[in-house]
Amino acid sequence: MGHGSINKDRNNSNINKDMEQKILQIESELQLPRNSPLTWDHLKSRTISSYNLFHRFIGYIPLALNFKFFPGLKIVVDGKENIPKREPRIYTMNHTDNSNYFPLLYTLIRNNNDFTIWIKGKNYKNPFQRRLFDFGKMIPVPPKNYLLTTIHQRLFPDSRELNSKKELNPEIYQQLKDSFDGTIDVETLREQHASSEVITIAQKMDDIRWYHDQCMQQVGRITENALLEKRISLLIFPEGTRNVTLGKARTGIAQIALYTKVPVIPIACDYGDLIYPGHNPFAKKGTIVYHIGKPMTIDDQLKPYKIDEPYALLSTESQTRHKPQFEGATTAIMTEINRMLHPRHQNNELYKR
């Protein structure tokens, strides 16, 4: 059980009217789009079902047709005995391509496991994908790079600092990131001749940081509700992006595991990039391999990183206060994934055995 008591309105139980009014005021000042996964209304309205009809439909019809008939995919699952039926687990896997989790979804659903997935905020920009993610009860996660880019786009839509895809050039993004992280102040940015657009956003950074912190804590509440109350599993790609070779992970996986005390199931996926080349969501003919590791628990492999005092899940304060534990647990989980991977996907420099 986690650090807090469970109630029906857990998703919003720690938010009072004054805080919510401040959140909405900041959204208005930053001109954040109402249909964005970043907005408070969207996060607040997220509900998780203990029975995911969408996943069942996807697993039993489109994916079954793709894997069995068009053109035929061999799914090898090593360690299937480590997947419990109807017990919440945190599944964490390497992310070699856009779709390497489809065969895993197919396997889990047919093993009577319901789960939700953390989805990076920028993937909600496509209206069709957004509807699918919402219908499938996914959990949107608003990373700071997406937030900063969105704010710049909304405040300065005709800026020359945006490329043809409405993305910030790297130098401008780095300045905003440094301001967000508190490693550079407004006066230093002026001395470096930063643009007026960067200065304008940097002057609002205290509010932006606070707003992002509230959104991430809401993601934490939704996730806690899914695992502890709805008792469904969670799938996380801790790298936060796609890498054929295992990349550096973020600590969200450890924060969730140490807080909720739900066991982590490390999964190593081989050859996903060959089965799903490019952005193709349809599997090519071939073999994809999943190595399902044994559960990593707070009483065993993750015990050295256990946190006994209460803390706010996914908050900036907790990430600062408990950084060594979060980083240590993340490394332990990723090292186990790296150990199980085929050598073509391993990163033995980053994750030594």
- Full residue range of the structural domain in which residue 151 is found: 10-340
* Whether pLDDT at 288 is above 90: yes
> Residue 14 domain-assigned?
yes
Residue 265, beta-bridge partner list: 91
SS3 category, 147: helix
Could you tell me if 2 and 258 are in contact, meaning their C-beta atoms sit under 8 angstroms apart? no
The answer to whether residue 350 sits within a structural domain is: no
Domain assignment present for 347: no
pLDDT at 93 over 70: yes
Name the 3-class secondary structure at 213. helix
How many whole angstroms separate alpha carbon 40 and alpha carbon 222? 13
Most confident of 16-30, 48-62, 257-271: 257-271
3 state SS of 235: strand
Whether the pLDDT of residue 333 is over 90: the answer is: yes
- Contact at 8 Å (CB) between 252 and 313? no
| Mean of all residue pLDDT scores within the chain | 89
Task: Encode pLDDT of 108-154 as tens digits.
Answer: 887 777 889 998 877 877 778 888 888 888 999 988 888 998 899 89
Q: Is residue 179 part of a domain?
A: yes
Averaged over 69-79, what is the pLDDT? 86
Q: How many domains does the chain divide into?
A: 1
If one compares 309 and 53, the residue with the highest pLDDT of the two is 309
d(CA 31, CA 77): 47
Give the pLDDT confidence score for residue 6 in this predicted structure: 40
Q: Provide the edge-to-edge strand list for the sheet that holds 233-236.
A: 73-78, 286-292, 264-270, 90-93, 233-236, 115-120, 139-141
Render pLDDT for 194-215 as a digit per residue (tens, 0 to 9).
999 999 999 999 999 999 999 9
pLDDT confidence tier of residue 9, bands split at 50, 70 and 90: very low
The answer as to whether 353 is a domain residue is no
Residue 263 lies in a domain: yes
Residue 156 lies in a domain: yes
Residue 105 has pLDDT above 60, yes or no: yes
**What's the pLDDT tens digit per position in 210-246?**
999 999 999 999 999 999 999 999 999 999 888 999 9
Backbone angles phi, psi at 286, to 5 degrees: 155, -160
Q: How far apart are CA 145 and CA 21, in angstroms?
A: 24
Q: What is the CA radius of gyration of the chain?
A: 21
CATH code, 141: 3.40.1130
Instruction: Sort strands 233-236 and 139-141 into parallel, antiparallel or unpaired.
Output: unpaired
Question: Strand 264-270 vs strand 286-292: parallel, antiparallel, or unpaired?
Answer: antiparallel
Asked if residue 187 belongs to a domain, the reply is yes
